[in-house]
Amino acid sequence: MTDQRQRVLLGRIVTVHGIRGDVVIDSYTGEPADIGAYGPLQSADGAKEFKLKVLRVRPKGVVAHIVGVDDRNGAEALRGTDLYAPRASLPAADEGEYYYTDLEGLRADNEAGETLGTVVAVQNYGAGDLLEVKLTGERGTELIPFTDTYVPVVDVPAGRVVVVMPISTDDDDEEGGEPDENAAG
């Protein structure tokens, strides 16, 4: 098994395109077509290599041909495959930018330096990046907006982020909570 920190997830094969073995890839690169610019990509376990030829970018993803896959059945077998690039083939992140893999596993501290938990993932449901933090002693996780307001410090070399927990309101209470006395109604 390959060390996951030495590879970065760049995309996922989501479906097939046509009968000649082309696939549609959900690309996680800044420019979707760039998924083909980092050399051969690898499967999650590092056992398979995929040489991509990007054909075009469509609203539903990048249409690409994988060298050696020449029919629909071969392409179907790859549906759901995550595509990783060796870390060394990627450019260094710019100041204030991070690869998700660099953030996963970092200790999450509050502003007083007390440990709150660990960053387990970075999520994005369409409205911006969120750090998913597993709080110490809790079963679930919390989603923290990945903005300067809520994550004012990211110190990858020190293995930590500083998190300002959002203040929950009665509106956030899943149980319903007490009605807000200040609410119009």
What does DSSP say about strands 160-162 and 153-155: parallel, antiparallel, or unpaired? antiparallel
Whole-number pLDDT of residue 112: 94
Nearest to 29 by CA among 64, 74, 2, 77: 64
- The fraction of the chain above a pLDDT of 70, given in percent, is 88
Phi-psi region of 125 (alpha: psi -120 to 50; beta: other; left: phi over 0): alpha
Q: For residue 173, which phi and psi values (nearest 5 degrees)?
A: -70, 120
**What would the pLDDT profile of 139-159 be if each residue is shown by its tens digit?**
989 999 999 999 999 999 999
Ranges for all domains in the chain classified under CATH 2.30.30.240: 100-169
User: What is the Cα–Cα distance from 20 to 73, expressed in whole angstroms?
Assistant: 9
In this prediction, residue 146 carries a pLDDT of: 95
**Cβ atoms of 78 and 25 closer than 8 Å:** no
177 pLDDT exceeds 50? no
* Whether pLDDT at 178 is above 70: no
Cα 115 to the chain's mean position, in Å? 23
Topology at the third CATH level for domain 4-88: Elongation Factor Tu (Ef-tu); domain 3 (2.40.30)
CATH says 100-169 is which class?
Answer: mainly beta
CA 153 to chain centre: 19
Statement: residue 2 has pLDDT above 80:
no
Q: Yes or no: say if 39 and 89 are a contact pair by the CB < 8 Å rule.
A: yes
Q: What is the mean pLDDT of residues 102-115?
A: 94
Which residues of the chain form beta strands (DSSP E)?
Answer: 7-17, 22-27, 41-42, 49-50, 52-58, 61-66, 82-86, 107-109, 115-124, 129-135, 141-145, 153-155, 160-162
At residue 169 the predicted structure's pLDDT band, cuts being 50, 70 and 90, is low
Question: What is the C-alpha to C-alpha distance for residues 180 and 123, in angstroms, rounded to an integer?
Answer: 31
The residue count of the chain comes to 185
The pLDDT of 119-137, averaged and rounded, is 92
Which pLDDT score is estimated for 101? 86
* pLDDT surpassing 90 at residue 10: yes
Q: What distance in Å separates the CA atoms of residue 81 and residue 46, rounded to the nearest whole number?
A: 12
The ranges of the chain annotated as CATH 2.40.30.60 are 4-88
Q: How confident is the model at residue 170 (pLDDT cuts 50, 70, 90)?
A: low
Give the global pTM. Answer: 0.71
Specify the residue for token string 């970092």: 106
